[in-house]
Amino acid sequence: MIERREQKLGMPTGRGYSRRDFLKVGGAGLAGAALLGTAGCGGGGAGSGKLIFSMSSPVPTFDALLNKFSKQNKGEIEATLREMPANSSTHYDKLTTEFQAGGGDIDVIGGDVIWAIQFAAQGYIQDLSDDFPESEQEKFLPGPISAMIYEDAIYGIPWFTDAGLIYYRKDLLEKAGFSGPPETWDELKEMALKTAKDTGTKNGFVFQGMNYEGGVCNGCEFIWTHGGEVLSEVTGGEVVIDSSEAVAGLETYASMVADGVAPEAVANYDETTSEPVFGAGDAVFLRDWPGYYGLLGIPTKDGGYPNLKPEQVGIAPIPVAEPGMQSYSALGGWNQFVNAATDSQEEAVTFAKFMIATEQEKSLALDGGLRPTRKALYEDPDLQEASPVIELAKEIIFSNAKSRPVNEYYGDISLELAEQFNNVLTGDTSPQEAAETLQQSLSDIMEQAD
C-alpha cells in the first residue's frame, strides 16, 4: 500500500520542475520575505528637516502657528501637528507607548504639567536647562515652572496654563436674591440649593468627580481649601493626608452629593459630561478650567454652548472652608517637552522656543482663548480686552494655582487618589476611612520612591 501511494504521488521522472519543487522554493521564499519584513519594521525619527509636534485638542490657531514657523524657517525645518486624544489619561498612555518602544518619532511634545517629572525620571524628555536659563524662567509664572523641575534641572517650558475655578450663573443668583459669588463652601451649598429651588434649575453644582485625573484635581481642591495637604511638600516630604483638615475637606466633598447640592451622577462626570449640563442651563454652579469660558455663546458646531451667553456667567475662585482662608486651584496647563530620543535636537528646541515666544502666546490667547504663562502678558491691554477670562482669572492663576504632587511616581499616586476620592463621592467609603487608606498606600509609594 505504501509503494502504491509513493508511486502515485511521487516525483515524476523526466521533468524539470515538479509542483512539489515549486512549492518548496516558493514557500521558502515567502517565509524568508516575511521574516525579513518583520525584522525591517521599526526605526524612527521624522527625518532631517521635518518636525513632528504632538498635542491634544488643537485649536485652529495651532495650524496657523505651525505654518508661521515653517515659513520662518523655510527650507530648513517644516513642522507638522500630530493630534492626540483629548482625554489626558489616554493621551499619556499613547505617549508612554511611543517612549517605551524606543523614542518614537515625535520630536516636540505638548504635554500636561503633571507628566514632566514622570517623563524626566525615566529619561524620556530632554534636559532644557542650557536652552532655558533662569533669567528666562523668571518671565514665566512660578507655579508651572516649579512643576517642570526635576533634580535641579528644568525639563519643560510652560506653554499655557490652567487653574480650576467656579463658574456661576449671575442671572440665576440675582433672581434668587444673592448679590455675588460664594466665598465659603457652606455659602455655595446654601446658594446652590436655594437658587435651584427658586429658579427651577435641575442641579445646584456640577463638577468632575469621575475616577480619573480630573477627579484628583477636584478632590485636591477640596482638601487644600480646608487647610489640608496631600504631601507636606510639593516635591516630596511626608504624606499628611490623614490630617483632620484633609478629612474635613473630604467630608465637604462627600456632602455635595449627600446633601443634594450635586447630583449623584457627578461621580461619573468628566469635563465632557459636566460641561454640557451647565451649558444647557441645568446647573447653577460648575467647577471647570478657564478654557470653558471661551465656549459660551459659541455655536454647537464649533463645540460651544450657544444658549448660554458670557454675560450670564461669572467666574469666582474655589470657595474655602472659613472666610479669610487662602483659596487654592489645581494647577493644570500644557508645556513644551523635547523628546530625548529625537534626531533633530536643535530644531526641536528652536520650535519649542518659538511656541513660547511672547508673540505666539499672545496670538494663542487672543485667538484660541488659552491662558499665557508669561507674566507680562497678563498686563497686556489687548489681551485684557479680547479675553475677559484673562482679567477675571488673573488673580486665580497668579496666586491660587497649586500643583498636585510633583513626583516620579505620580502615576501611582494619582491612581490611588482618584479611586478613593471617587469612593468618597459615591458613599462607598467614609472620608475618614479614605484618608487612612490613602495615608497607608501613599506612604508605601513614597517609600519606594526613595
C-alpha cell at 189: 451649598
Q: What is the CA radius of gyration of the chain?
A: 27
Q: Which of 48, 122, 358, 440 binds another protein (CB under 8 A)?
A: 122
Return the range that interacts with another protein (CB under 8 A); candidates 21-29, 73-81, 173-181, 325-333: 21-29
Rounded to whole angstroms, the Cα distance separating 192 from 185 reads 10
Q: Which of 65, 267, 315, 377 binds another protein (CB under 8 A)?
A: 267
Is 86 near another protein (CB under 8 A)? Answer: no
CA 327 to chain centre: 22
Is 258 near another protein (CB under 8 A)? Answer: no
Of residues 323-352, those binding another protein (CB under 8 A): none
Q: Which of 227, 263, 333, 369 binds another protein (CB under 8 A)?
A: 263
Is 96 near another protein (CB under 8 A)? Answer: yes
Q: If DSSP codes are grouped into helix, strand and coil, which group holds residue 355?
A: helix
Rounded to whole angstroms, the Cα distance separating 35 from 39 reads 6
Is 239 near another protein (CB under 8 A)? Answer: no
Rounded to whole angstroms, the Cα distance separating 351 from 318 reads 36
Q: Are 174 and 370 in contact (CB under 8 A)?
A: no
Q: How far is the CB of 199 from another protein (least distance, A)?
A: 18
274/373 with CB nearer another protein: 274
Is 264 near another protein (CB under 8 A)? Answer: yes
186/282 with CB nearer another protein: 282
38/179 with CB nearer another protein: 38
Is 31 near another protein (CB under 8 A)? Answer: yes
Contacts of 144 (CB under 8 A, 6+ apart): 113, 158, 161, 331, 333, 335, 373
Q: If DSSP codes are grouped into helix, strand and coil, which group holds residue 126?
A: coil
Is 93 near another protein (CB under 8 A)? Answer: yes
Is 141 near another protein (CB under 8 A)? Answer: no
Q: Which of 73, 353, 415, 443 binds another protein (CB under 8 A)?
A: 415
C-alpha cell at 264: 449623584
Q: Are 313 and 168 in contact (CB under 8 A)?
A: yes
59/449 with CB nearer another protein: 449
Give all strands (DSSP E) within 14-72, no chain letters. 50-56
Rounded to whole angstroms, the Cα distance separating 61 from 38 reads 40
Burial class (CB in 10 A: 0-12, 13-18, 19+), 195: buried
Tell me the site size for another protein, rule CB under 8 A: 44
Q: If DSSP codes are grouped into helix, strand and coil, which group holds residue 206?
A: strand
Contact residues toward another protein (CB under 8 A) are 2, 5-6, 9-10, 20, 23-24, 27-28, 30-31, 34-35, 38, 89, 93, 96, 100, 118, 122-123, 210-212, 263-265, 267-268, 273, 277, 282, 408-409, 411-412, 415, 418-419, 422, 426, 445, 448
